[in-house]
């Protein structure tokens, strides 16, 4: 997983930062940060379930 994605997940999940704050940090809007987080969490779920066929 790319470093930026890892940082977004870390900030959201562990530091409990709002998407708006994460968006400012990565230079994107709140909605873009939210989309990145949602997609990364979906990918993590697939990886943990062993269903990632990339």
> Can you give the pLDDT at residue 51?
66
Expressed as residue numbers, the domain containing 45 is 3-49
Tell whether 24 is covered by a domain. Answer: yes
Model's pTM, two decimal places?
Answer: 0.79
Tell whether 32 is covered by a domain. Answer: yes
> Can you give the pLDDT at residue 54?
52
Question: Number of folded domains in the chain?
Answer: 1
Q: Which residues of 16-31 are buried (b: 16+ CB within 10 A; e: fewer)?
A: ebebeebbeeeebeee
Tell whether 54 is covered by a domain. Answer: no
Rg (CA), the chain: 11
Tell whether 37 is covered by a domain. Answer: yes
Tell whether 7 is covered by a domain. Answer: yes
pLDDT in tens, the chain (54 residues): 889 999 999 999 999 999 999 999 999 999 999 999 999 999 999 989 886 555
> Can you give the pLDDT at residue 53?
56
Tell whether 14 is covered by a domain. Answer: yes
């Amino acid at each position: 997983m790319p470093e930026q994605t890892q940082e977004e997940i870390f900030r959201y999940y562990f530091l409990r930062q709002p998407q708006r704050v994460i968006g400012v940090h990565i230079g994107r809007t709140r909605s873009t940060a939210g989309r990145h987080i949602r997609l990364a969490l979906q990918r993590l779920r697939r990886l943990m379930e062993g269903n990632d066929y990339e």
